[in-house]
Structure 1
Amino acid sequence: MSDAPSSVPEPGSAADVVRTWDARADHYLRMFRHEWDGKPFDLDVLNAFAGRVAEGGRVYDVGCGPCGHVTELLAAHGLDALGIDLSPRCVTLARQERPARRFAVMDQRDIAGERLDGLVSYYSLHDQPKGQLAAALTSWAAALRPGGQLLIVAKEGTGDGVVDDPLGSDLRVYWAEFTEYELRTAAGDAAFRVDDCTVREAYDDEIPTRRIYLSATRHRG
């Protein structure tokens, strides 16, 4: 028997995110290319976020995925939007879908010092262990200027581990869910003022889990 180390990366690691999302990016694009057609609440929340950021403001769509539709929406509001994702395949597809918009392969957990005016995390937290939530929020706070706007959208729950892919691929993937208390606490500890936190029920064609929408402002000073 070989003693060579396994080539499978640690679940929830950056390498694992790349592995799983490179493999299912095309599947996700087919499922969610027209996501806004059936999500009026999400559209309202994202439009409101864009309205809180001054025109021309620098914003990151972290974990943009292969569709690029959040980046597109933000840019359509006159924002200087960049979609970032760890998965090269996601970024390639997003560039094909939205050739007029900007995308880059970057780690959302390593963007401190960017001096952004806004940051959107639209379901980008589910691929990493819940124990990394505080570090992610701290990195985002360090990337936002004082007064900068944050929007987090996450699925509600207590799950934290490897599961069969809820999106329907044949993969086993890391899957973390969050409570409103966890998101509020992490944001507050990371120098954010929570302005609003709303929970909605799943639409009929969604994974049957409630969604959390947290809006916050980076503290001044």
Structure 2
Amino acid sequence: MADAPISSPEPGSGADVVRTWDARADDYLRLFRHELAGKPYDLEALHAFAGRVRPGGRVYDAGCGPCGHVTALLAARGLDVLGIDLSPRCVALARREQPGCRFAVMDQRAVAEPLDGLVSYYSLHDQPRSGLPATLASWAAAIRPGGRLLIVAKEGTGDGVIGDPLGSDLRVYWAEFTADELCAAAGAAGFRVDGRTVREAYADEIPTRRIYLAATRDRLTAR
């Protein structure tokens, strides 16, 4: 009897995130290890987030990827930061790249720790747009009233499986969001939006505008 074919995970599922990121983590690290050096706006946004969190505040870098550079930046600013990623390969590489920082394999869609803040730096595009409310609700439940949130995401309306933008032969899930969509979802989850900006892509980036949303866990709606 022939072996049954191995089925592929559902696109956009946690298993699919592991499949695609375990396969391309090494290439991503090679391409983006030093990306923040060429992104002054991103650096400004990350430093501003760190400045809004109390010294020593507990923060997650959600979807830290294999570089771990955002985790390292926040740790250097004096925050108690943990980089989390669903891909074991990404976490292994991040630990190697940033040996002074902490990382763990964890689903950003099921965060449960009491936090003072959370950064989502280009981590939302691996999941379907329909999952955005549940993800933000999970973050809101984990972040203390008055805690901070920073979302950086690519602008657009795409939502489905495409060829890998990084150039591999993989088919990957890719979702984009509008600023209005992110703000509405954040508000519905219990965040007060403090500011939102959009910038054009830098010359060496995928030609898609970037959204930066800064928010505070609303004390009035916290449960």
Shorter-chain TM-score above 0.5: yes
Determine the structure 2 residue equivalent to 1:18: 18
1:6-45 superposed matches below 5 A: 6-45=6-45
Ranges in structure 1 where 5+ consecutive residues have no aligned partner: none
Q: TM-score, normalised by structure 2?
A: 0.96
TM-aligned CA distance change 1:2 to 1:181, over 3 Å: farther
Alignment of 1:133 onto 2:132: yes
Aligned to 2:115: 116
The Cα shift of 1:5 comes to: 5.8
Give the equivalent residue in structure 2 for 1:91: 91
Per the TM alignment, residue 3 of structure 1 is displaced from its structure 2 partner at its CA by 9.0
- CA distance, structure 2, for counterparts of residue 60 and residue 138 of structure 1: 15
Instruction: Name the residue aligned to 1:100.
Output: 100
Give the drift of 1:2.
6.5
Q: TM-score, normalised by structure 1?
A: 0.97
User: 1:176 maps to what in 2?
Assistant: 175
* Partners of 1:83 and 1:143 in 2: CA distance: 15
Q: CA deviation at 1:7?
A: 2.4
Paired position in structure 2 for 1:205: 204
Deviation at 1:125, TM superposition (A): 0.4
What CA RMSD, in Å, does the superposition of the two structures yield over aligned residues? 1.2
- The answer for the alignment partner of 2:147 in structure 1 is 148
Ranges in structure 2 where 5+ consecutive residues have no aligned partner: none
Q: What letter corresponds to residue 179 of structure 1 in structure 2?
A: T
| Secondary structure class of the residue paired with 2:9 | coil
Q: 1:38: how far off? A: 0.7
Q: Which amino acid aligns with 1:126?
A: H
- Measure, in 2, the Cα distance between the counterparts of 1:41 and 1:219: 26
For residue 6 of structure 1, report the CA deviation from its aligned partner: 3.9
Cα distance in 2, alignment partners of residues 3 and 210 from structure 1: 46
CA distance in 1, matches of 2:197, 2:129: 20
Letter in 1 for 2:40: P
Secondary structure in 2 matching 1:193: strand
Q: Secondary structure at the match of 1:142?
A: helix
Distance 1:169 1:73 in 2: 28
- Name the counterpart of 1:74: 74
Structure 1 residues 68-102: Cα deviation after superposition (integer angstroms, max 9, x where no partner): 00000000000000000000000000000000100
SS at structure 2 position matched to 1:109: helix
Alpha-carbon separation, structure 2, partners of 1:168 and 1:18: 18
Q: How far is the alpha carbon of 1:29 from its aligned partner?
A: 0.1
- Alignment-derived partner of residue 159 in structure 1: 158
Question: 1: CA distance between counterparts of 2:10 and 2:114?
Answer: 31
How many residues matched?
Answer: 220
- Give the secondary structure class of the aligned counterpart of 2:204: coil
Aligned AA (2:74): L
> Runs ≥4 in structure 1, deviation > 3 angstroms?
1-6
Deviation string 1:184-206 (CA, Å, 9 cap, x unpaired) is 00000000000000000000000
> Which segment drifts farther, 54-63 or 5-14?
5-14
- Following superposition, the deviation at residue 37 of structure 1 comes to 1.5
In structure 1, what is the Cα distance between the partners aligned to 2:206 and 2:130?
23
Q: What amino acid maps onto 2:63 in structure 1?
A: G
Matching residue's letter, 2:20: T
CA distance in 1, matches of 2:5, 2:108: 28
